[in-house]
Amino acid sequence: MTNDQLIKKIKELLNEGNVEKAKLFVEEHKDELGEYYDKAKVLLNSEKVEGLKKQFKKFF
């Protein structure tokens, strides 16, 4: 897979709500991602933040 295909797959998993699967996918393809590994980690972290925001909004 190309780096673009790997990032696209990660985004698809996140859009489907499969954060854990996305994390696993990133770790499994760490070597293939190379410099894109850091970008993928940023995607995962931003998804966590969005999830926390949604949970926080439920309280109000």
* Residue carrying the six token digits 């190379």: 34
- What integer pLDDT is reported at residue 60 of this predicted model? 42
Question: Is residue 54 helix, strand or coil?
Answer: helix
pTM of the model: 0.69
Per-residue pLDDT of the chain (60 residues; tens, 9 = 90+): 888 898 889 888 878 888 888 889 999 999 998 888 888 887 777 766 566 555 555 544
- What integer pLDDT is reported at residue 51 of this predicted model? 63
